[in-house]
Amino acid sequence: MKKDSVDGVIKFHQELIPAGPLEIRAIAELEVWRMLLYQEELIGVYPTGIGYGNVSRRCREGGFIVTGSQTGGRALMDGRHYSRVIMYDPADDRLIAKGPIEASSESPTHWALYRASPDINFVFHSHSQVMWDYCRRFDIPMTREDVKCGTPEMAEEVQRLYGDTRVRDTGIFGMGGHRDGMMTFGRTSFETGRRMMKYFFQARLARRIDSLRKAS
């Protein structure tokens, strides 16, 4: 299935192999972090009904497990709301997933990060206006503004960013052509989540300080 080129919806050709819900043990660690990000509104749904934010983890058997498409508005999820991405071919812009639900629209970006390094085991994608606005203040690399999310071009851009910038050391970058879009990655879920929350609270603090200075 391929959908409109709107942020938050699937742009690539996705073939879903129907399967039952994923086992709890396969998603438990992801779901804990997804709930924390949801509580901070780093994952959620816009008034337009478009969901945002997703999390994934590498699978030992290959591919990765990722939250399903348009699940951002759910406070609590289970195995019915995750799928395993088996492969993605950027040349054909085609993705194959197995599970009860279509994989997230941001799956090509997750794929690019897992392909960039075998040391990456978790990838989190959130939306945060304050983090995005303060990327340059904190010297956080960003993808090019002309590159859209969920596309082969974004997958290529992420791999370029990983090789040419500080991204491999900081584990975080902003998405220049995807307003408010932020990505973190790491060896563990804790490392990946900590990076997201660290910059989130730093950006909020910086915004508060700037606001007080303007008011004084």
Q: How far apart are CA 134 and CA 200, in angstroms?
A: 10
Which tokens go with 7? 């942020």
Q: Within 13 A of 198's CA, how many CA atoms are on the CB side?
A: 13
Per-residue pLDDT at 2 exceeds 70: no
- Mean local confidence (pLDDT), 36-50: 96
Per-residue pLDDT at 15 exceeds 70: yes
pLDDT of 215 reads 87
pLDDT of 185 reads 98
pLDDT of 4 reads 41
Residue percentage of the chain with pLDDT more than 90? 86
Q: How far apart are CA 110 and CA 103, in angstroms?
A: 11
Per-residue pLDDT at 170 exceeds 70: yes
Q: How far apart are CA 189 and CA 26, in angstroms?
A: 13
CATH class (in words) of the domain with range 13-215: alpha beta
Structural domain boundaries of the chain?
13-215
* pLDDT tens digits, one per residue of 112-168: 999 999 999 999 999 999 999 999 999 999 999 999 888 899 999 999 999 988 899
Which tokens go with 82? 């995750």
pLDDT of 1 reads 44
Mean pLDDT, the chain, integer: 93
Q: How far apart are CA 58 and CA 82, in angstroms?
A: 13
pLDDT of 165 reads 84
Residue at token pair 């959620």: 44
Spatial strand order in the sheet of 64-67: 13-18, 94-99, 82-89, 64-67, 54-58, 122-127, 181-186, 172-174
pLDDT of 88 reads 95
pLDDT of 35 reads 98
Encode burial over 181-212: b for 16+ CB neighbours within 10 A, e otherwise: bbbbbbeebeebbebbbebbeebeeebeeeee
Q: How far apart are CA 201 and CA 165, in angstroms?
A: 23
- Mean local confidence (pLDDT), 202-213: 95
The closest alpha carbon to 54, from 115, 152, 123, belongs to: 123
User: What pTM, to 2 d.p., does this model score?
Assistant: 0.93
**Encoded amino acid at 16, one letter:** L
